[in-house]
């Protein structure tokens, strides 16, 4: 029996793929912070999602020179390309559920991601710092006063800020994950929730 939810997402993916690959690649690359390449093989936009490189071609999304089979990677990147947001960073940091018109499920995604990171690195601050560097994170100063503050570019114009407090005698470990309020102009908040989940899984993996 066909899973209707999977089927609907596959249909959505096909629809937004058509929209993204029909874009002016040169203009789109500038807008999304990617790199435009024009060669004998055709036009290409290269970009990173977290620490993984992708190529958008006129035939769709490719990873390691093969058509990408990761449904959610395609949905997230196609949506990011088609929106081509141009809003400047505001400096206002928000959790997912406080974005205007955020779907109800974003609060659960936010909480699960933060709990997963806090549990994994409860008393292992050096381990957290190593993992942050390993997946492209950089030290972020002036955000929240925490044991570890880091910034990650989930997509070129979609930064994520992580603040982490180690467990002590009184309190358990805690983690906050915040986005610049401009993120809503670059990617649908529903898709950003799935990208946040992917980030958390990658951070806690060995």
Please, are residues 105 and 97 in contact by the beta-carbon 8 Å criterion?
no
Residue 72, domain extent: 4-83
Residue after which a domain boundary falls, among 39, 55, 83:
83
- Co-location of 50 and 117 in the same domain: no
- Co-location of 101 and 168 in the same domain: yes
In a domain, 88, yes or no: no
Residue after which a domain boundary falls, among 65, 83, 101:
83
Q: How far apart are CA 114 and CA 120, in angstroms?
A: 10
Residue after which a domain boundary falls, among 22, 54, 83:
83
In the chain, the number of structural domains is: 2
Residue indicated by tokens 């400047």: 88
Residue 165 confidence (pLDDT): 96
Residue 179 confidence (pLDDT): 97
In a domain, 9, yes or no: yes
Per-residue pLDDT of the chain (206 residues; tens, 9 = 90+): 344 455 798 999 999 999 999 999 999 999 999 999 997 779 999 999 999 999 999 999 999 999 999 999 999 999 999 999 988 999 999 999 999 999 999 999 999 999 999 999 999 999 999 999 999 999 997 668 999 999 999 999 999 999 999 998 889 999 999 999 999 999 999 999 999 999 999 999 97
Residue 2 confidence (pLDDT): 41
Count CA within 13 A, CB hemisphere, residue 42: 11
Residue 132: CATH number of its domain: 3.30.310
Q: 75: closest CA among 15, 7, 33?
A: 15
User: Alpha carbon of 30 to those of 23, 33, 46, 52, 191: distances in Å?
Assistant: 12, 5, 11, 19, 22
- Co-location of 23 and 75 in the same domain: yes
């Amino acid at each position: 029996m066909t899973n209707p939810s999977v089927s609907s997402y596959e249909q959505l993916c096909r629809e937004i793929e058509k929209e993204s690959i029909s874009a002016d690649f040169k203009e789109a690359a500038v807008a999304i912070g990617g790199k435009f390449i024009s060669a004998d093989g055709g036009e290409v936009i290269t970009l990173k999602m977290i620490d993984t490189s992708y190529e958008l071609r006129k035939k769709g999304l490719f990873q390691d020179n093969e058509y990408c089979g990761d449904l959610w990677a395609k949905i997230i990147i196609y949506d990011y390309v088609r929106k081509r947001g141009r809003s400047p960073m505001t400096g206002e940091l928000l959790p997912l559920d406080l974005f205007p018109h955020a779907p109800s499920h974003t609060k659960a995604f936010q909480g699960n991601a933060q709990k997963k990171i806090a549990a994994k690195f409860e008393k292992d601050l050096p381990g957290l710092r190593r993992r942050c560097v390993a997946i492209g994170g950089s030290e972020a100063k002036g955000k929240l006063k925490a044991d570890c503050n880091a910034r990650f570019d989930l997509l070129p114009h979609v930064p994520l800020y992580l603040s982490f407090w180690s467990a002590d005698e009184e309190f358990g470990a805690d983690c906050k994950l915040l986005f610049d309020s401009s993120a809503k102009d670059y990617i649908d908040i529903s898709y950003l929730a799935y990208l946040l989940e992917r980030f958390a899984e990658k951070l806690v993996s060995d």
